[in-house]
Chain A
Amino acid sequence: MSEVLLAPRSLWSLSLHDAKVRGVLYQVLLAGSLLALVVSIAIQTASNMRARGIPLSFGFWNETAGFDINQTLIPYDTLSTYGQAFWVGVVNTLYVSLLGIVLATLLGFVVGIARLSPNWIVAKVAASYVEVIRNVPLLLQLLFWYNAVLKPLPTPRASIELPGGIYLNNRGLIIPEIQLHEGAGSVGLAFLAGTMLCFAYRFHARRVQDRTGKQLPVLRVSLAALIGLPLIVFFLVGSPVSFVTPELRGFNFRGGHQLYPEFAALLIGLSAYTASFIAEIVRSGIQAVPKGQTEAAHALGLAPGKTLRLVTVPQALRIIIPPLTSQYLNLTKNSSLAVFIGYPDLVQIFAGTVLNQTGAAVQVMAITLSVYLAISLVTSMVMNAFNRRFAIVER
């Protein structure tokens, strides 16, 4: 009868040869040094700021800003506060990012699909676009659009006149302003009703298909409800929309809606740059769907359009969505390059002008970083939810 004798393990025989003990030790060391670093930085920062007369509070938030911003979507003037300037920056950043995301997605999908075209020249042109745009810094592209393309345009008096009362000059693109008259609201209501009708019909069509296998023409009915219904109401109430064409008065245009060159350059640059990355994502996503899937769908008698819509695209999307999300976030972060060409985004207004005027570097930077972090977090959450809907349901 053999008995292995083990040394009695007491609670107190802690040894550095025990991995758990070492783990705890490492973490205590890490926590200690981090804490020491943070505390010393905090003390040093507070004393440095006091020595330089920099405010330590957020009191500047409600002070009058005193500078003007030429492009705002929300009310703002020189008498507004720094807090209001902050919100102008946030809204402008979101505005250019959202428009950029829409344009970049459209262009990116077109270029990505074109790269897979069986037509040799189409594929080569798309590939050249991607290779050229992707390998040149975004800042260089923005500067090119702004300084070499949009700025040398003629002055307002010598504007290039485009059809439809649109003028192009070095102050931007001036387009007719849309004016809504009485009854315009009913067109909007009709559109809303059309949208609801679409959803109802789709629900109905799905139930009919589940029950009988019969397919109803969802697309045609939806289009009729979405476009036809508002159009009928539009003419019934007597075209309640008119356009105010811009007019040249003195050195500038009156009336009409102005698209500033800073905004246009940023939008073009961001969309074109991000589209080249999205194109690569779309291409690899579609290529990753096995060919057998398409062949099997064809063997089942699905038409090419349906094969694409019901078999290839859902599987490709599953691969495309996660990297696409990070491209959307990149575009939003890259919109901060606005500061180089003078579009008033969050960084330009808040981390630029407000920081310089108030000197409150720590507070301003903390707020700016939190905004970008919040945007990242919300976008990831939305796209993750979207992704979950498309993800493979495994047993």
Chain B
Amino acid sequence: MSGHSLHSPLANSSLLPPTAPPWRIRRSPAAWMRKNLFSTPFSGVLTICFTALAAWLLYQLLSFAVFDAVWTGGQEECRANPDGACWPFIVEKFDYLRYGAYPVAERWRVDLTLIIGAVLIVWLLWKRAPQRNVAALLFFIAYPVVAFVLLRGVASLNLPVIDTVLWGGLLITLLMSVVGIVFSLPIGVLLALGRRSELPLVRAVCVIFIEVVRGVPFITVLFMANFMMPLFVPDYLTPDRLLRPLIAIALFSSAYMAEVVRAGLQAIPKGQYEAAKALGLSYFTIMRLIILPQALTIVIPGIVSTFIGLFKDTTLVAIVGIADFLRAVETARVDPNWAGPTISSTGYLFAGLVYWIFCFGMSRYSQAMEREFARGHKS
């Protein structure tokens, strides 16, 4: 029977010719566009509108920053060109934007401080680097001392003292951020531990500090530091004008850091505390060896996003007369020698780019860490 059916004229023994897969799973560019750009008429309209918008914005940006921009020349060329950016302006002001009025002969000290800081940060953040705890120790304890000696100077070490009035530009912005980071993390950890403490008074003090600081704008904290700190102490103890906003930024960001760390502490299972207690460890040993290492690792993304906020907030110190990077851009922008029509836009574009690179870099790092944890927990 079976032999018959095989040779039956109705059976077609040749293979069917291959047909193209349905467009939804095809890999060609046309199929991709049909799926992702023109799946419905409405989607098609949106695609056209948004492509036009994106193209227009990109064209505007590129023509301002590249095609119509002044690349060589000086003030006259910039004044004559109302359409494009004036890059010679940035080139001339570049040193001022980086160091402010820091004496030219001593600027190597700023560079050295920044290089040491950069090396330590890379060492600290690079996952496969050896001895990262040594890096942490150096960054959080040794580096502030070294930076102080280098930047401010110690006469006995043959480093002339530079008055903080002269400091400015990117130096101030980075200094503010690093001081904020170095001090806010430990203070934030202490506040978070205090908020979860079993001692009612400790808890109350920490809760009040955290909630009050988080409830008010940073500007008012800066005002307080600037106007009220000199009233709080005898005249001979009045903090330096640069030190006051530094204290403000450290205290302000430590309150935010405390809430991030608290989230991490809450995420640690209770069994970890109980097991550590059962082993007879004391409170501080439990925290140092068992709880904090786990809690801080979980909240690294939150810590980084607090740092990003801190970095952006450093721009506000201009209100108390500190010449940070943005303030330096503002000062350079109104220089009458460079009164071109696009000087302001050029300055803001450059400043925006600098801030964006720092913030975007940090957020990318935190996203990478997040993905890493997600992988670790799934395995």
Contact = CB atoms under 8 A, between A and B. Distances in A.
A140 B315 contact: yes
B318 interface: yes
Interface stretch (B45-53, B67-75, B107-115, B261-269): B45-53
A23 B359 CA distance: 43
Contacts, number: 150
A369 B231 CA distance: 18
Contact of B319 (A31, A135, A144, A339): A339
A136 B232 contact: no
Contact of A337 (B37, B219, B333, B351): B219
A336 B219 contact: yes
B32 to A, nearest CB: 8
Nearest to A151: B344
A231 B215 CA distance: 44
A48 B219 contact: no
Interface string B201-236: 110010000001011111110011001101111110
Interface string A360-395: 011001001100110011000000000000000000
Nearest to A359: B227
B54 interface: yes
B39 interface: yes
B114 to A, nearest CB: 20
Contacts of A138: 312
B365 interface: no
B348 interface: yes
B64 to A, nearest CB: 11
Interface in B258-296: none
B95 to A, nearest CB: 21
A147 B215 contact: no
A119 B326 contact: no
B352 interface: yes
A131 B315 CA distance: 19
A34 B205 contact: yes
Contact of B217 (A27, A45, A347): A347
A121 interface: yes
Interface string A330-346: 00011011011000000
- Which of A139, A144, A334, A376 gathers most chain B CB within 10 Å? A139
Interface in A16-58: 23, 26-27, 30-31, 34, 41, 44-45, 48-49
A122 B232 contact: no
A27 B202 contact: yes
A355 B227 contact: yes
Interface in A308-360: 329, 333-334, 336-337, 339-340, 347, 351, 355
A365 B348 contact: no
Contact of B348 (A135, A144, A152, A351): A144
B216 A372 contact: yes
B53 A30 contact: no
Nearest to A333: B217
Contact of B223 (A34, A148, A351): A351
B46 A140 contact: no
Contacts of B214: 376
A131 B364 CA distance: 11
Contacts of A235: none
A377 B233 CA distance: 31
A7 B57 CA distance: 83
Contacts of B348: 140, 143-144, 147-148
A118 B215 contact: no
Interface in A111-161: 117-122, 124-125, 128, 131-132, 134-140, 143-144, 147-148, 152
B37 A119 contact: yes
Contacts of A339: 219, 319
5 contacts: A27-B201, A48-B232, A119-B36, A140-B315, A361-B228
Interface of B: 36-37, 39, 43, 46-47, 50-51, 53-54, 198-202, 205, 212, 214-220, 223-224, 227-228, 230-235, 308, 312-313, 315-316, 318-319, 326, 330, 333, 341, 344-345, 348, 351-352, 355-356, 359-360, 363
Given A336-B220, A347-B217, A355-B227, 12 more contacts: A34-B205, A44-B233, A119-B46, A121-B54, A140-B351, A140-B352, A337-B219, A339-B219, A340-B318, A347-B219, A365-B220, A365-B227
